[in-house]
């Protein structure tokens, strides 16, 4: 039976061999040069794209459209200096299968962008210590990574989970540079480049498209 080219979770575009138990697409390391970062929701209207980087530290509804139509946004993202991988949510109360699915989606987009000439910076995220079994699969070592502390410092338990995961990331990936979005806890060490977190314009339940 012929495949419906409008479906198949982007497998109609590319199937990667992947690594680990769940076949997570592997990303290559990227060297970082200082630049300004903007949210994905400002990409279309941004001027001087070549000197800026793109982050996805937004509500998921702001960038799910990239997963749904990657080729629509590829020509725009190719104009930027760096593009981080989408920060699909990894909430601790999400079912494990959804967390793994979001990790896979993040890496599929990252690998697809790299394959099409984009300098990709992997966004690293985790939930509970159980996620360490797979949440670092596909991440490069000795390169540049990005993390966000936004929403992780609200209570003692959330902060402990963040710090614990951060230390595990550093141990496993040995990143050369860590781009840090949000407040930096004093426990976080490494070659950190801080980018200021700001309140995004679009917080409606129904998100606007391009």
Instruction: Report the chain's mean pLDDT, rounded to a whole number.
Output: 90
For the chain, which residues make up each domain, given as ranges?
Answer: 27-195
Judge contact between 61 and 207, C-beta under 8 A: yes
Note the pLDDT of residue 1: 44
Residue 85: is it exposed, middle or buried by C-beta count within 10 angstroms (0-12/13-18/19+)?
A: buried
Residue 3 confidence (pLDDT) above 80:
no
Residue 44 confidence (pLDDT) above 60:
yes
Task: Over range 46-66, report the average pLDDT.
Answer: 94
Note the pLDDT of residue 152: 82
DSSP structural state of residue 45: T
Tracing tokens 């004093």 back to the chain, one arrives at 186
Distance, C-alpha 82 to centroid of its chain: 12
Note the pLDDT of residue 77: 98
* Residue 153 to residue 104: CA distance in whole angstroms: 26
Judge contact between 35 and 196, C-beta under 8 A: no
Residue 105 dihedral angles phi and psi, to the nearest 5°: -60, -40
> Could you tell me the CA-to-CA distances from 35 to 6, 54, 111, 161, 193 in Å, in that order?
36, 10, 22, 30, 10
Question: Residues of the chain with pLDDT > 90: what percent?
Answer: 83
pLDDT in tens, 139-179: 999 999 999 998 887 789 989 999 999 999 999 999 999 99
> Could you tell me the CA-to-CA distances from 69 to 17, 22, 60, 102, 204 in Å, in that order?
21, 23, 15, 16, 22
DSSP structural state of residue 120: E
Note the pLDDT of residue 202: 38
* Residue 92 to residue 158: CA distance in whole angstroms: 9
**Strand order across the 177-181 sheet:** 144-148, 177-181, 192-195
* Residue 109 to residue 91: CA distance in whole angstroms: 20
């Amino acid at each position: 039976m012929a495949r419906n080219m409008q479906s198949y979770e982007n497998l109609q575009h590319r199937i990667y061999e992947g690594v680990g138990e769940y076949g997570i697409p592997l990303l290559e390391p990227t060297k970082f040069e200082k630049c300004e970062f903007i949210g994905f929701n400002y990409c279309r209207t941004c001027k001087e794209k070549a000197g800026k980087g793109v982050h996805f530290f937004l509500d998921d509804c702001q960038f799910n459209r990239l997963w749904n139509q990657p080729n629509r946004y590829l020509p725009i993202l190719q104009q930027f200096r760096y593009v981080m991988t989408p920060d699909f949510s990894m909430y601790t109360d999400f079912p494990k299968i959804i967390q793994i699915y979001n990790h896979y989606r993040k890496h599929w987009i990252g690998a697809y962008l790299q394959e099409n000439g984009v300098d990709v910076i992997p966004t690293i995220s985790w939930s509970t210590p159980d996620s360490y079994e797979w949440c670092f699969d596909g991440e490069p070592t000795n390169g540049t990574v990005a993390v966000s502390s936004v929403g992780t410092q609200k209570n003692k338990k959330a902060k402990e989970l963040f710090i614990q995961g951060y230390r595990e990331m550093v141990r496993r990936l040995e990143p050369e540079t860590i781009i840090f979005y949000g407040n930096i806890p004093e426990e976080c060490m490494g070659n950190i480049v801080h980018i200021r977190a700001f309140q995004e314009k679009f917080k409606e339940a129904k998100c606007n498209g391009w």
